[in-house]
Structure 1
């Protein structure tokens, strides 16, 4: 049998420790049929949310902002095209820090990609303390005429601090990333998209262009069917790669994509009590969805030091993303 290109032996842990986390939710609450959503006020900004979550994470980690040597912004839609959102966050919270700043974007799973990248830098010794910030103001791009998406999304932000960790004598007790897998199926690239604002439809083209190009568009049914078709095999390969059965994780923290989350989990073979599902309370928080639920699970003591968790989700692209993390 031909070896699948993603089939590999289990890798060694990439040592790192989650030492701080923070979240931010706008005060404005709207409801749709009992589903709660959060929307930023007209005078609020994405940068305000990201900075607030970052400062909370740094405080919990016992660090000053200047102690960080790398800032990664993991957002689906950033503050502005140039400079990167990470640089703007750094300007706000640590203007005199000597740190790298860059953005990572795999839309809704950007945080998972950022943790994957940060763990590699930390394991290699390139950085000692990495701040990751995620958050979107999806409400600024929603089409009120498209009920499915308009009633789904919430604005929110979350941040974590990852620090370098020495590899212990017993690797089984060392916190860090145990493995990851990410794949994109571009046949579904246009199932969910926002076309306007950059080089395809620049801002100056708005007046003479199609206003719908500057609003979020989603074919929810096609995206869901595409996801359900690829996820069982993807998660089977992820489990093989990390050497952990799907039923062996202490908690699975998935992207809160939609009310179809339970259907997707059943299709993969994950039992209801094994994962976080709070779509009804918070909606789809885009890039902040996974870190927000991670932080909430830590605050509620559903998980803690020594636990092994899975961060996972799907995103526009169509992209699937999964990462095993020992706390």
Structure 2
């Protein structure tokens, strides 16, 4: 069982600054009733989206690509099995950076996990400037016969640059984090084919459905609602802050049931971002895209405290408190 620090032993601030952010949203739009979704065109790749978002983030941070010393790709499904997606992003965006490059995957909450990891490297002084990229092309894995998922997902990408920061009482950085997985729900949402269980060469003789995304939405939702209250109670106890001290909650835009999940953990409407109708579930880019959008729209800014959170296949719950 996960243990949280006892009272008086809260996690210390991991100082780091959100120096830049960028997004990419395809031009192609499809609608399902009142729901708007985005689709990558045939001539574009996931890597194209990730590179565009990364370049945007570097421009905002006023950094040259060679300034980056670590690149983390935080995607649910990468560009190819080998090498890691981060290496391919580095080849495209910062080929002479001399940086470390690796992938992090907790599916839809991969970005939160990557920020958690990056903040630890930055606080330790191992790196000075970390580029995190997230994005998926869910539309290329969807089963048109499974309406629930087919009408939910959008293609998009987002990126941030985190830089090392000196500490201080009100310094920007990560105030605390918590992640847990409940494997009893591991198969509620899955994509089985493409790697070692069902290799690509087995497609012709195998079950084509193994190579398409499958989701039992009701079971996933019920599993999530069962674990979230205790998970967030432990999270708030760990960080030593209450909801009234958080300026904005940026959750993964999992589905139209987002409001139900937020009410379940006591977060009132207006205190969190809900843009599911406009953008859908953007998989790994969902949280960073909404974070960037909130910054661009002036909803949050320097000094504000933001909670990044969400659930993902696994079943995984993830939460991180970030002071901008």
TM-score range, shorter chain: over 0.9
1:14-33 residue pairs with structure 2 within 5 A? 14-33=14-33
Matches within 5 A, 1:193-204: 193-204=190-201
- CA-CA distance at 1:5 after TM superposition: 3.3
Q: Is 59-68 or 6-15 further displaced after alignment?
A: 6-15
Q: Secondary structure at the match of 1:29?
A: strand
Matches of 2:164 and 2:137 in 1, distance apart? 31
Residue among 173, 181, 184 paired with 1:184? 181
**Structure 1 residues 54-86: Cα deviation after superposition (integer angstroms, max 9, x where no partner):** 000000000011100000000000000000000
Give 1:37's aligned residue. Answer: 37
Contact 1:177 1:326 in 2 (8 A): yes
From 297, 301, 322, the equivalent of 1:300 is 297
TM-score, structure 2 as length reference: 0.98
Q: Aligned residue for 1:50?
A: 50
The 1-side partners of 2:64 and 2:254 are apart by 34
Q: Secondary structure at the match of 1:52?
A: helix
Q: How does 1:169-318 map to 2 (within 5 A)?
A: 171=169, 173-318=170-315
Contact 1:106 1:315 in 2 (8 A): yes
- Tell me the distance in 2 between the aligned counterparts of 1:77 and 1:125: 30
By how many angstroms is 1:246 displaced? 2.3
Q: Work out the CA distance in 1 between the residues paired with 2:257 and 2:51.
A: 31
1:130-187 per-position Cα deviation (integer Å, ceiling 9, x unaligned): 000000000000000000000000000000000000012xx2x110000000000000
Q: What SS does the aligned partner of 1:49 have?
A: helix
Q: Secondary structure at the match of 2:317?
A: strand
Q: Does the aligned pair in 2 maintain the 1:247–1:270 contact within 8 Å? A: no
Cα shift at 1:96: 1.3
Question: Per the alignment, in what secondary structure is the counterpart of residue 121 of structure 1?
Answer: helix
2 CA distance for matches of 1:321 and 1:243?
17
Runs of at least 5 residues in structure 2 that lack an aligned partner in the other structure: none
Give 1:212 shift: 0.1
Once superposed, what is the RMSD of the aligned Cα atoms?
0.6
Q: Secondary structure at the match of 2:204?
A: coil
Q: Is the 8 A contact 1:30 1:39 kept in 2?
A: yes
Count of residues in Structure 1 that have an aligned counterpart in Structure 2: 321
Give structure 1 stretches of 5+ with no counterpart.
none
* Equivalent of residue 322 in structure 1, options 314, 319, 323: 319
Once residues 305 and 221 of structure 1 are traced to their aligned partners in structure 2, the CA distance between those partners, rounded to angstroms, is 39
Structure 1 CA distance for aligned equivalents of residues 119 and 245 of structure 2: 22
- Where does residue 156 of structure 2 map in the other structure? 156
Q: Distance in 2 between matches of 1:175 and 1:290?
A: 19
Cα separation, 1, equivalents of 2:65 and 2:53: 12
Paired with 2:286 and 2:10, the residues of 1 have a C-alpha distance of 28
TM value normalised by structure 1: 0.97
2:112 is matched with 112
SS in 1 for 2:82: coil
What is the aligned partner in structure 2 of residue 69 from structure 1? 69
Once residues 151 and 21 of structure 1 are traced to their aligned partners in structure 2, the CA distance between those partners, rounded to angstroms, is 28
State the Cα deviation string for residues 182-216 of structure 1 (Å, max 9, x = none).
Answer: 00000000000000000000000000000000000
Q: Distance in 2 between matches of 1:258 and 1:11?
A: 32
State how far apart, in whole Å, the 2-side matches of 1:116 and 1:251 are: 18
Superposition deviation, residue 248 in structure 1: 2.1
